[in-house]
Amino acid sequence: MAAQLGEDAALRRKYGRYLPWQRLNVDQVPLPFVNDMDYTYEVKGAKRVAINQGGPSLSKRQATGQLCFRPVEPPKPKDAAALQQYSKELLKQPAPCILFRGQGNITQEERDAYPEGLVVIFQKCAWVDRPVALDWVDKVMKPFVEAERAAGVADESTRYLLFEDILDAQKTPEYIEALRVNGIDDHKVPPNHTDEVQPIDRGLGRQVKIYIGQQMDKWLEDDDNLERWESTARGTSLSASDRRILLAHWYYNAVVKALEGDAKRKYFEHAGALLTADGTDDELVKLEAAPKGYQLVVPPP
């Protein structure tokens, strides 16, 4: 225990109040049912090529991914009993969340077909408005923090820092208070610069879309699925419910895959979301479109 406290003290000196696993970023990712309708990929020499279409409307936003992640997980405890509790309770990342258009008047069969672990919210335009933002805090962030406490890596005094943009729903006092009572402090990134200073914009959002496209291509390799796809172009076969279920699985699996490995930490480092209190590691910040040889210089506090 003493060694663990010593490690935490050293990290506090480096990072300040918010350690790397206590920093998160949330942003919205538009999700069309078909990505890159103008392009398709196939093995050279293939005798049959499936064009990823199904009607121009399917290339428009069908849903919104409410994507939230952190750069690393908390360190594993060395004590056997604590490690068992950690492994049982910890959520590696906040649950992926997807917003579909509509009022949510769907069958239980469709609800049961969604991936376990995916939070599904309905909104008439599939967008994060004020009620949805509060619903997201309750369904995603509250369980995440509760799991941290149950796993023994946080307590009532632990604070998390959430980087987010100035979306209207994320500026209301009710939303910021909902975060605060769950141990989360709000931090707005500068407007008009989210592509530079938001970790999701620095790579994760793009990776999720790439992986969704790969899963769609794999699904189309099945002849029966290809027939359904081609029928959809003629207005039959794949219903709205079918498309929601498919997109839910593709999105969930894409998020899980995109958060594997160490790339997620680099997204935070390059965006400056892992700046240190003592000034070390500042050279890891790589702002988008910065001139060659540019080096970030952070003035002392």
Residue-wise pLDDT tens digits, 18-48: 999 999 999 999 998 775 444 444 455 655 5
pLDDT-derived band at 194, boundaries 50, 70, 90? confident
SS3 22: helix
6 pLDDT more than 50: no
**Closest to 248 in 3D by CA, of 55, 52, 100:** 100
Comparing 38 with 272, the larger pLDDT belongs to 272
Q: What is the mean pLDDT of residues 247-276?
A: 94
pLDDT at 195: 77
Mean pLDDT of 124-138: 97
Instruction: Answer whether residue 180 shows pLDDT above 90.
Output: yes
* Alpha-carbon gap, residue 282 to 270, rounded angstroms: 9
50 Cα distance to chain centroid? 30
Going by pLDDT thresholds of 50, 70 and 90, the confidence category of residue 269 is very high
Least confident span in 2-11, 111-120, 281-290? 2-11
Residue scoring higher pLDDT (12 or 94): 94
Range list of β-strands (E), the chain: 23-32, 61-69, 97-101, 119-123, 160-164, 184-188
| 171 pLDDT more than 80 | yes
Write the pLDDT tens digit of every residue in 55-103.
444 545 689 999 999 999 999 999 999 999 999 999 999 999 999 999 9
Q: How confident is the model at residue 234 (pLDDT cuts 50, 70, 90)?
A: low
Strands 61-69 and 184-188: unpaired
Instruction: Give the pLDDT of residue 228.
Output: 84
Please report, for the chain, the start and end positions of each structural domain, with discontinuous segments joined by +. 2-284
Q: In what order do the strands lie in the sheet with 160-164?
A: 119-123, 97-101, 61-69, 23-32, 160-164, 184-188
Q: Is the pLDDT of residue 296 over 70?
A: no
What is the reported pLDDT for 123? 96
Q: Measure the CA–CA gap between 49 and 266, rounded to whole angstroms.
A: 36
**DSSP result, 130-157:** HHHHHHHIIIIIHHHHHHHHHTTS--TT
Band of the pLDDT at 235, cuts 50, 70, 90? low
Provide the token pair at 78.
Answer: 């060395």
pLDDT at 139 over 70: yes
Q: Is residue 51's pLDDT more than 70?
A: no
- Between residues 296 and 161, which one has the greater pLDDT? 161
Could you give the angle at the alpha carbon of 65 between the alpha carbons of 20 and 70, nearest 5°? Answer: 5
Q: Does domain 2-284 have CATH number 3.30.420?
A: yes
The per-residue pLDDT for 5 is 40
Say yes or no to pLDDT of 200 above 70.
yes
Q: What is the pLDDT of residue 229?
A: 79
pLDDT of residue 7: 59
Mean per-residue pLDDT over the chain, rounded: 86
Taking the model in full, what pTM does it have? 0.85
pLDDT greater than 80 at residue 247:
yes
Choose between 1 and 178: higher pLDDT: 178
